[in-house]
Structures are given as structure tokens and as C-alpha cells.
């Protein structure tokens, strides 16, 4: 098994020379075998143990077991205790999901601790001294892979979910993904590796355990090599998913545009599947995609939100941009000069505004549009809501959010930058001094 373990790490490029590896160590047979294999192969490792306090004394005994093992083999151990049930209550998630979210959040904290040690958050926990990790090793094996496949199948996943877990996903590595549960346990027995049994592993109220104890024996009875064939299918799906992702990426690059933080695709190019493949990278779910697709041909302007992004259905396009994007300070250049007899008003460049200096109340400032804003568009006698001006000129939601409004000391609108000046500040025959403003990117 050691030779296979070594070959799997090498062929999948899981650990590079000099890498420090954090090992998720529960105390169960899978993680104990992984820890021992990595330790015996001489990798630079440390352990991370989560105590979720879900099994009373049993959870505490697991922690003590791991502490004693780490002391015995001389490997640094990090322990985190969680109030998992409190997290379940506050976040309205299942116990399984709560444990997953809590442990991965903590793992990420540990992996990224070197940034904090460099002073980015001003804190340097004493037990994180000289901490730096390049990889986090997880003890998932082939049977976990099969169970994950069926869990995702029952959730209605597409290829991306059905490909299940990968040997390497960024900093997360799974060096045992090739080995069966039977092989892992056999290695532990043959090599005298002790472990702790989790009593909940036999409880079929959990979906994974139900698949493990109820479903898989049925497949085994139908076909002796069922597990091997399921794993073959998972591997095929992983390869097909990679090709599919590359083709989708190429297609989106062909039909989509990116302008700074604004991502946009014309509605005529989108079917439901392509729409989902595009917006899933912005955190939108499949159910949201169904609602978005249904709304494509309805009245424009409908908005949808993921955790970090806003999607707006415009007249001809679907636009996506960050909810809290940062707009760079505008670059406005001001020039004041006397009007001469040969002066000709500039009308061809919308990024240049020429105003009557004596009509302005300085200083001039810029801001974003606000509800209720009014101005007198050049050539009109009455005032107009800026929102109506936007709508008349087919402004998208993103354009409304990013268009600059230039105002005077009394907050009167002087110029909708790049679009229209206010008629009250226009140059006339009586103008003596001109104030020219250039707007540049």
C-alpha cells in the first residue's frame, strides 16, 4: 500500500518538495492511516482536530486520543472546539452541513494563518508561531467517493457534482482517494495503527450512512465489481467535465463581454443551460437560474442577487456585477479662460462640458445619482427627473450606478457627466468667462 500511496501522490502532483502539509485528523481509521503514511514517508506535517461536541464524552475521548498520538509521534497538533448545535440553530442548516462549514472555515484559517502572522489582521496567536501550510490533506478514500457520487445524484447534480471529489482541489489534497475502505482498514490492522470508532457511522438517519449500509450492499449483490465500475464512471465523468468546462469557457468568451467589473451577455445567445454555466461562477443557484431564464422575455429591469453579485435583466442583455464594487475616483480636468470673439462651442465630444463660469457656485463636486434628483437638460425650459432622463436614454442599471453627477455648492446638478449639461449653466452671448471640464478615464 505504501508504494501505491507514494505513486498516487507523485502521479497527481499532490505534494511538492518542501511543502508543509496540514492533516485533518479525526482519530478514525481513515485519518489515522493517512497520518501514519505521510509521517512514515517523511513529509513535513502537522495535525488539525475538530471537536464538534456532538457525542458527549465520546467526542472528548476522540480529542484526547488524538492529543496522545500527536505527543507520542512528536507532531504539532491544532485543536478547535465548536458549539455545533448552536451553529445549526443560528444558521438553519443540518448538523452535517454545520460540521462541514465549521471545519472547512477553520482549516482555511489555519492554512492562511501566515498572512495574519505577517500582521494583516493585527493578531498573532501564540500557538500559531511560525505557522505556514501549503496543503491540507483529507482522508477521503474510494468508498467515500462512491457515496459522494450517490449523494450528489440524489441532489440532482449535473456533471460537475457527479464527478465527485478530485485528488487535488487547490490546496486540498486527497492522497487516499484510490484506496478502498477495506484496504485502509487492512493496512491499519497489519501495521498496528490504533483508531477510534465513531458510533454515528452506523446510524442510518444520515444520508451517507444510509447509502453505505443499505444501498451499496445491493449493488455488491448485483455485480461483484460494482464499486470498481462506479469509480470508473466517476473518473469518466471527471474527464468529461474538464472538457465540458473548457468548451463552456470558450463559448462564454465568444458571446460575453467584460468591461471592468461588468459582465454581460446578449439574451439572444442564452439557453437555460448556458445561462446556468455562466452565472454559477458568480454564486447563483440552479433554482435562481430557472427564475432568471423565465424572466428573460418579460419586462426588463428585474434583479437577482447571489451573496456577492447582482444580476439585472436589461432590454437586450443580462448584466452581472459585484454588489459592492469600488468605483475609482473620477478624473476631471478643469480649465478657465476668457471667451473670445472667435470662440466656437464644442459639441462633438460628450466628455467635454463648457459652462458659464459666472453662473457657477463653486466648489463643484461629484457624486452618484440619488432618487429624486432633478435637473434642466440642455435645451429644455422645465426640469426633469434624472431617473426619467436615464430611462429615456435606455440606461442600464449598471450605468445608473456608475454615471457621475457634477453638482455645485448648492447641490444643483451642473452636468450628468458624459451625457448632458444643465441648461442653466450653458454658454450664451452674454458669457464672459468659460469653465471647461474634461472627463477622462
Q: pLDDT of 11-30, one tens digit each?
A: 999 999 999 999 999 999 99
Which residues have a Cβ under 8 Å from the Cβ of 54 and sit 6 or more positions away?
Answer: 84, 85, 95, 99, 200
Residues 12 and 103 in one domain: yes
Residues 20 and 134 in one domain: yes
Higher pLDDT, 368 or 201: 368
Q: What is the DSSP letter of 223?
A: -
Is the confidence at residue 122, as pLDDT, over 50?
no
Mean pLDDT of 94-112: 91
Tens of pLDDT, residue by residue over 410-426, are 999 999 999 999 999 99
User: CATH no. for residue 360?
Assistant: 3.50.40.10
In angstroms, the first-to-last Cα distance of the chain is: 61
Is the confidence at residue 207, as pLDDT, over 70?
yes
User: CATH no. for residue 51?
Assistant: 3.40.50.620
Is the confidence at residue 182, as pLDDT, over 90?
yes
Residue 194 is predicted with a pLDDT of 96
Residues 315 and 419 in one domain: no
In a domain, 432, yes or no: yes
Mean pLDDT of 204-209: 86
Mean pLDDT of 46-64: 94
Residues 132 and 191 in one domain: yes
Helices (H), 264-407: 272-279, 286-295, 386-392, 397-402
Residue 441 is predicted with a pLDDT of 55
Residue 329 is predicted with a pLDDT of 67
Residue 252: pLDDT band by 50, 70, 90 thresholds? very high
End-of-domain residue from the set 274, 299, 322: 322
What value does the mean pLDDT of the chain take?
A: 91
Is the confidence at residue 240, as pLDDT, over 60?
yes
Is the confidence at residue 374, as pLDDT, over 90?
yes
Residues 275 and 340 in one domain: no
Q: What is the DSSP letter of 211?
A: I
Q: What is the DSSP letter of 422?
A: B
Distance CA(420)–CA(389), nearest Å, equals 10
In a domain, 153, yes or no: no
Mean pLDDT of 33-56: 95
Is the confidence at residue 119, as pLDDT, over 50?
no
Higher pLDDT, 48 or 199: 48
Residue 114 is predicted with a pLDDT of 52
Q: Where are the beta strands (DSSP E) in 275-383?
A: 303-305, 309-313, 317-322, 331-338, 352-356, 365-368, 374-375
Residues 335 and 310 in one domain: no
Is the confidence at residue 116, as pLDDT, over 80?
no
Residue 204 is predicted with a pLDDT of 81
Residue 440: pLDDT band by 50, 70, 90 thresholds? confident
Residue 115: pLDDT band by 50, 70, 90 thresholds? very low
In a domain, 53, yes or no: yes
Residues 276 and 420 in one domain: no
Residues 173 and 41 in one domain: yes
Is the confidence at residue 403, as pLDDT, over 50?
yes
In a domain, 409, yes or no: yes
End-of-domain residue from the set 302, 322, 342: 322
Is the confidence at residue 125, as pLDDT, over 80?
no
In a domain, 312, yes or no: yes
Residue 126: pLDDT band by 50, 70, 90 thresholds? very low
Is the confidence at residue 236, as pLDDT, over 60?
yes
Residue 123: pLDDT band by 50, 70, 90 thresholds? very low
Handedness of CA 153, 155, 159, 163 (dihedral sign): negative
Residue 302: pLDDT band by 50, 70, 90 thresholds? very high
Residue 198 is predicted with a pLDDT of 85
Mean pLDDT of 265-277: 95
Residue 131 is predicted with a pLDDT of 65
What total number of domains does the chain contain?
Answer: 3
Residues 287 and 345 in one domain: no
Supply the pTM of this predicted model: 0.70
Residue keyed to cell 439572444: 268
Distance CA(40)–CA(111), nearest Å, equals 23
**Could you tell me the residue range of the domain that residue 99 belongs to?**
2-141+163-201
Amino acid at each position: 500500500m505504501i508504494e501505491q500511496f507514494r505513486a498516487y501522490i507523485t502521479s497527481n502532483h499532490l505534494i511538492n518538495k518542501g511543502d508543509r502539509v496540514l492533516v485533518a485528523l479525526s482519530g478514525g481509521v481513515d485519518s489515522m492511516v493517512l497520518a501514519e503514511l505521510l509521517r512514515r514517508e517523511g513529509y513535513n506535517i502537522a495535525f488539525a482536530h475538530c471537536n464538534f461536541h456532538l457525542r458527549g464524552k465520546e467526542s472528548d475521548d476522540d480529542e484526547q486520543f488524538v492529543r496522545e498520538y500527536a505527543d507520542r509521534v512528536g507532531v504539532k497538533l491544532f485543536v478547535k472546539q465548536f458549539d455545533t448545535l448552536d451553529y445549526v440553530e443560528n444558521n438553519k442548516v443540518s448538523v452535517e452541513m454545520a460540521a462541514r462549514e465549521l471545519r472547512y472555515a477553520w482549516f482555511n484559517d489555519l492554512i492562511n494563518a501566515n498572512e495574519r502572522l505577517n500582521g494583516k489582521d493585527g493578531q498573532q496567536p501564540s500557538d500559531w508561531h511560525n505557522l505556514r501550510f501549503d496543503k491540507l490533506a483529507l482522508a477521503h478514500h474510494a468508498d467515500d467517493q462512491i457515496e459522494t457520487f450517490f449523494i450528489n445524484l440524489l441532489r440532482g447534480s449535473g456533471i460537475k457534482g457527479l464527478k465527485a471529489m478530485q485528488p487535488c482541489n487547490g490546496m486540498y489534497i486527497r492522497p487516499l482517494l484510490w484506496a478502498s475502505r477495506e484496504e485502509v482498514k487492512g493496512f491499519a490492522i497489519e501495521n498496528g495503527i490504533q483508531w477510534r470508532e465513531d458510533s454515528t457511522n452506523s446510524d442510518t438517519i444520515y444520508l451517507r450512512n444510509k447509502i453505505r449500509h443499505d444501498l451499496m450492499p445491493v449493488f455488491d449483490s448485483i455485480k461483484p465489481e460494482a464499486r470498481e465500475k462506479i469509480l470508473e464512471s466517476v473518473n469518466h465523468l471527471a474527464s468529461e467535465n474538464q472538457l465540458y468546462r473548457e468548451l463552456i469557457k470558450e463559448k462564454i468568451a465568444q458571446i460575453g463581454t467584460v468591461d471592468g467589473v461588468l459582465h454581460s451577455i446578449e439574451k439572444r445567445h442564452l439557453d437555460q443551460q448556458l445561462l446556468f454555466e455562466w452565472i454559477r461562477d458568480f454564486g447563483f443557484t440552479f433554482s435562481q437560474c430557472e427564475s432568471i431564464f423565465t424572466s428573460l422575455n418579460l419586462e426588463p429591469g428585474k434583479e437577482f442577487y447571489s451573496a456577492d453579485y447582482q444580476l439585472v435583466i436589461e432590454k437586450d442583455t443580462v448584466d452581472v456585477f459585484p454588489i459592492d464594487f469600488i468605483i475609482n475616483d473620477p478624473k476631471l480636468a478643469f480649465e478657465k479662460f476668457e471667451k473670445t470673439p472667435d470662440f466656437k462651442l464644442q459639441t462633438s465630444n460628450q466628455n467635454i462640458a463648457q459652462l458659464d463660469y459666472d453662473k457657477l457656485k463653486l466648489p463643484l463636486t461629484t457624486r452618484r445619482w440619488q432618487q429624486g434628483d432633478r435637473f434642466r437638460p440642455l435645451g429644455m425650459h422645465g426640469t426633469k427627473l434624472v431617473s426619467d432622463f436615464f430611462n429615456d436614454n435606455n440606461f442600464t442599471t449598471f450605468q445608473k450606478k456608475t454615471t457621475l453627477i457634477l453638482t455645485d455648492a448648492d447641490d444643483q446638478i451642473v452636468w450628468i457627466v458624459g451625457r448632458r449639461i444643465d441648461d442653466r449653466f450653458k454658454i450664451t452671448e452674454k458669457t464672459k468667462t468659460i469653465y471647461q471640464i474634461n472627463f477622462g478615464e
